[in-house]
C-alpha cells in the first residue's frame, strides 16, 4: 500500500531493566548448549510484574512515550490498535480499552489484533486504511513471556524470547519518519506450524507445563516437509518486501537499515537474510542477542533504538519487517525526515 502523506508522528518503547544471562541459564540446565550456539543469544529482557511490568502496563508506558514524542493531544487519537502474541493476563477482557483508559484517551475505538509478530506493521496499515491516510491512530505492541504458560528458553527453538513493548502514533502530520508504504502477505497453509496436533478445547487451562512450540512444529512436519515451510516463507517474505519497495519507489540498495525480527542467528539467516538478500551488518542483530524476540514490538523497538543510537540523515530509508505465525508477513518502508526532537542515549 502506497502512502502519499502518512507519518510516524512519534513513537516510544519500553524495555525492563532486568537481563538474564544466557550463559547462566546454560549452566543451570535451563537452556540447551546447542540452542545457545545456534541462537548466539547473550541475554534476555525479563519483566517483573511486581514492578508494574505486566504486558498491558508495558504497552501503556510505551504508548505514553509515543504520545509525548508526537506532541499531540489524546483528543486527537480516534483509533487504538493493540497487537499481542501470547497473553494479556485476563480472559473476557479488552486490553485495548485498558490501554486507552490508562492513557486518558476519552473517545476512541480500541481494537486488539493477533496477527502475532507482524502485528505492529499490520496495525500501521490498519490505521492508514481506516482513515484513508487522513486521521490519527495509536498502535501498541507488548508481550511478557512468563512461566508457567511459556518458557522463554525452551518453549521454542532457534530463538529466545524477551519482554518489552513499543508504540507509534500514525497520522498525516509530519513526524520523525514518513511512512512510504506498507505490505502484508499471508499464507494460511502454514497455520498448523504453531498448532501441531494440539487440541483447541482450551488446552491452556489443563496443561501442566509451558507451551511446547517444538512439539507443534513436529506435528506440522508429520504432514508437511519442513522444506515446504522454508520455500513458502522465502517466497512470501520476498514478495512482501518487493511490494513495499515498489510502492515506495525504492530500490533494494537504497535501504539504509533493515529492521528484522529478533530471532537467533541460524533462524535469522534462513528466515530473513537469505529471502531478503541482506547481510547481518545491515540490521540490528546485536539488539536481538541482548533482549530476545519481544513479538510484535520488535520493529518499533528497533526503530526507536536506531533513532537514539545512530546518526540518521534526512532521506535515509529503513525497512521494517515482521513475521507472524499463521503465517503473516509485514513490511514497511519509512523515510527519516529530520523532524526529530529525540535525544540520543
pLDDT in tens, 14-29: 999 999 999 999 999 9
Q: What are phi and psi of 341, to 5 degrees?
A: -100, 5
What's the rounded Cα separation, in Å, for the pair 272 and 288?
14
| pLDDT at 220 (0 to 100) | 81
CB 60 within 8 A of CB 5: no
| pLDDT at 265 (0 to 100) | 97
What's the rounded Cα separation, in Å, for the pair 287 and 284?
6
pLDDT in tens, 320-340: 999 999 899 999 999 999 987
**Is residue 110 helix, strand or coil?**
strand
Mean pLDDT for the chain overall: 93
What domains lie within the chain, and their CATH numbers? 1-338 (3.40.47.10)
| pLDDT at 90 (0 to 100) | 87
| DSSP assignment letter at 194 | G
| pLDDT at 31 (0 to 100) | 98
Sequence-ordered alpha helix ranges (H) in 73-199? 95-103, 119-130
Interhelix angle 95-103/55-70, nearest 10 degrees: 40
Does 343 score more than 90 pLDDT?
Answer: no
Q: How many other C-beta atoms are found inside a 10 Å radius of the C-beta of residue 202?
A: 9
| pLDDT at 344 (0 to 100) | 38
119 strand-pairing partners: none
Band of the pLDDT at 341, cuts 50, 70, 90? low
CB 138 within 8 A of CB 77: yes
| pLDDT at 345 (0 to 100) | 37
Mean pLDDT of 227-256: 95
| pLDDT at 219 (0 to 100) | 86
Distance from the first to the final alpha carbon of the chain: 34
What is the DSSP pairing of strand 7-14 with strand 177-186? antiparallel
- Cell numbers given for 128: 492508514
pLDDT in tens, 184-230: 999 898 888 778 888 777 555 556 678 888 888 888 888 888 888 88
pLDDT in tens, 128-170: 999 998 899 999 999 999 999 999 999 999 999 999 999 999 9
Which residue did the predictor score with more confidence, 340 or 117?
A: 117
Distances (CA, A) of 253 to 175, 281, 336: 24, 14, 16
Q: Taking every pair of C-alpha atoms in the chain, what is the biggest distance, in angstroms?
A: 54
Mean pLDDT of 295-322: 96
Amino acid at each position: 500500500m502506497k502512502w502519499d502523506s502518512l507519518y510516524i508522528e512519534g513513537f516510544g518503547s519500553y524495555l525492563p531493566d532486568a537481563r538474564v544471562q544466557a550463559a547462566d541459564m546454560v549452566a543451570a540446565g535451563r537452556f540447551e548448549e546447542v540452542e545457545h550456539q545456534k541462537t548466539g543469544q547473550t541475554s534476555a529482557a525479563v519483566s517483573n510484574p511486581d514492578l508494574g511490568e505486566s504486558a498491558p502496563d508495558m504497552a501503556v508506558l510505551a504508548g505514553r512515550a509515543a504520545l509525548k514524542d508526537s506532541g499531540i493531544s489524546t483528543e486527537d487519537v480516534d483509533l487504538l490498535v493493540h497487537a499481542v502474541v501470547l497473553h494479556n493476563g485476563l480472559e473476557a477482557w479488552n486490553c485495548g480499552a485498558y490501554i486507552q483508559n490508562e492513557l486518558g484517551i476519552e473517545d476512541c475505538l480500541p481494537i486488539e489484533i493477533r496477527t502475532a509478530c507482524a502485528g505492529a506493521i499490520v496495525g500501521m496499515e490498519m490505521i492508514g486504511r481506516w482513515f484513508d491516510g487522513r486521521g490519527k491512530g495509536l498502535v501498541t505492541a507488548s508481550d511478557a513471556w512468563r512461566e508457567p504458560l511459556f518458557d522463554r528458553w525452551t518453549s521454542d527453538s532457534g530463538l529466545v524470547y524477551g519482554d518489552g513493548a513499543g508504540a507509534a502514533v500514525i497520522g498525516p502530520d509530519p513526524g520523525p519518519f514518513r511512512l512510504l508504504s506498507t505490505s502484508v502477505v499471508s499464507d494460511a497453509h502454514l497455520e498448523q506450524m504453531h498448532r501441531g496436533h494440539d487440541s483447541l478445547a482450551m488446552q491452556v487451562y489443563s496443561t501442566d507445563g509451558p507451551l511446547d512450540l517444538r512439539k507443534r512444529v513436529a506435528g506440522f512436519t508429520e504432514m508437511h516437509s519442513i522444506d515446504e515451510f522454508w520455500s513458502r516463507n522465502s517466497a512470501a517474505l520476498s514478495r512482501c518486501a518487493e511490494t513495499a519497495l515498489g510502492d515506495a519507489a525504492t530500490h533494494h540498495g537504497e535501504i539504509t537499515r533493515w529492521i528484522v525480527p529478533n530471532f537467533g542467528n541460524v533462524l535469522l539467516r534462513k528466515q530473513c537474510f537469505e529471502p531478503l538478500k541482506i547481510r547481518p551488518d545491515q540490521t540490528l542483530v546485536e539488539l536481538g542477542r541482548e533482549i530476545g524476540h519481544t513479538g510484535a514490538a520488535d520493529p518499533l523497538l528497533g526503530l526507536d533504538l536506531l533513532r537514539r543510537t545512530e546518526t540518521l540523515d534526512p532521506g535515509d530509508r529503513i525497512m521494517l519487517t515482521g513475521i507472524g505465525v499463521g503465517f503473516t508477513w509485514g513490511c514497511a518502508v519509512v523515510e527519516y525526515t529530520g523532524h526529530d526532537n529525540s535525544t540520543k542515549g
